[in-house]
Structure 1
Amino acid sequence: MASSSVPKIKNICVFCGSNPGKEKEFLESANHLGRVLAERKIHLVYGGGSLGLMGSVSIAAFLGGSQVLGVIPKALAEWDIIGKTVGEELQVSAMSERLSVMFNHADAFIALPGGLGTLEEIFHISSWAQLNIHQKPIGLLNVNGFYNTLLSFLDHAVEQQFLTFSARQILISAATAEQLIDELQSFIPVIDSSMSRLNWSITERRKKLRLDLSLSL
């Protein structure tokens, strides 16, 4: 049960493959996640398109009544590589901008099964959490044990002292959409003491100042 002190999740960004995967359970789970988001009145942010798991989760959420925002680089949109976006589409210039926009529109993140792009996105967001850039909850929907070996590797990284115990707690894992969303909602971040001293707002102001100065020269 979610703590009353934890803000309600209104928008979830879902990372997943543009392929359907080998097992039928992958598509079924994506479809079910979309329906659960709609039932809980949670809006969806995703990478755009209508193919594979991306299409399944977005169509289900949209048909269920959720607002759906697809963020897609112009290069992919122009060549229609991943199909037509369901709901509202926001085109951006680059993959890095896509991730930043999705991040800014989301209160939490879920990764369904996927390939390199999905792994890049979930670890990018997780590394930001480790650095205390944000404290938004992040979860893996572990369909058919898809992420079992990845989770074992992370445990191995802790054993070998390349990953702290607190950083390992960043990624939540559950087998069902309902359980995962419940855990995301009740998530309380554990921040490494060395990272808690970082002040990213100052860093961002300095970056903006350098940009303004360079433009004035």
Structure 2
Amino acid sequence: MKSICVYCASSLGNDPIYGETAFELGKTIAEHGIELIYGGAKVGLMGKVADGAISKNGKVIGIIPEFLQTKEIAHETLFELITVETMHERKALMQEKSDGFIALPGGFGTMEELFEILTWGQLDLHRKPIGILNVNGYYDALIQLVESMIAAGLLKDEYKKMLLVSDSIDDLLSQMNLYEVPFQTKWDGSKVM
């Protein structure tokens, strides 16, 4: 992977471990020579992951909608800050520029980004690895929900395998590097189960 997109909160949360882990993830991404793609903010976990990568001279590209940049939350010391018109443009460009995706703890926005990129993978619009860094068990309830979806017959088991999970940065990056799409696609675009 040459680039990884990180989805995360624009706030720090109540537990210092979230900010510490975001900073460490940014550092580790840079140490591996991987470009960081993220939402472009200087605040919250977003700012921490960028600062971590910058601390190791990593290449960081932020993508931010104009209406957020004008609220003065844009990070000023990135390799590149790309301004777009809408949130939809932001997410599409983040997907286009990234070879993989990691979700740190976050709120509605992070969940929406994570589920959209999972859905795009499920529809075979991309074949890139998607990981959750499960800091302090933050995503345990979400993982249980996925199991409930499968048990209810509303999600196929192979789609769960698209979601890589670890509480270790190195382990998650290793899983992502070894990722293979858990289903095959026929020439006409339909899936082979």
Q: Contact conserved, 2:64 with 2:74, CA < 8 A, in 1?
A: no
Query: TM-score, normalized by length of structure 2?
Result: 0.94
Q: Within 2, Cα distance between the matches of 1:119 and 1:71?
A: 18
Residue 176 of structure 1: how far off its partner (Å): 1.3
Indicate the residue corresponding to 1:140 in structure 2. Answer: 132
Residue 198 of structure 1: how far off its partner (Å): 2.1
Question: Is 1:57 equivalent to 2:49 in the alignment?
Answer: yes
Q: Which amino acid aligns with 1:35?
A: K
CA RMSD, 1 decimal: 1.4
Q: Which amino acid aligns with 2:157?
A: F
SS at match of 1:70: strand
Residue 149 of structure 1: how far off its partner (Å): 0.3
Q: Within 1, Cα distance between the matches of 2:82 and 2:37?
A: 10
Q: Which amino acid aligns with 1:121?
A: E
Q: Rg bigger for which structure?
A: 1
Structure 2, unpaired ranges of 5+: none
User: Superposition pairs for residues 166-185 of structure 1, below 5 Å?
Assistant: 166-185=158-177
What percent identity do the matched residue pairs reach? Answer: 36
Indicate the residue corresponding to 2:142 in structure 1. Answer: 150
Residue 83 of structure 1: how far off its partner (Å): 4.2
> Number of paired residues?
189
Q: Deviations over 1:133-166 (max 9, x none)?
A: 1110000000000000000000100000100011
Larger helix proportion, structure 1 or 2? 1
Q: Contact conserved, 1:50 with 1:86, CA < 8 A, in 2?
A: no
Q: Within 2, Cα distance between the matches of 1:134 and 1:84?
A: 28
Query: TM-score, normalized by length of structure 1?
Result: 0.84
Change (3 A) 1:39 1:196: same
Residue 21 of structure 1: how far off its partner (Å): 0.8
Residue 126 of structure 1: how far off its partner (Å): 0.3
Indicate the residue corresponding to 1:165 in structure 2. Answer: 157
Indicate the residue corresponding to 1:209 in structure 2. Answer: none
Q: Within 1, Cα distance between the matches of 2:108 and 2:163?
A: 17
Question: Is 1:29 equivalent to 2:36 in the alignment?
Answer: no
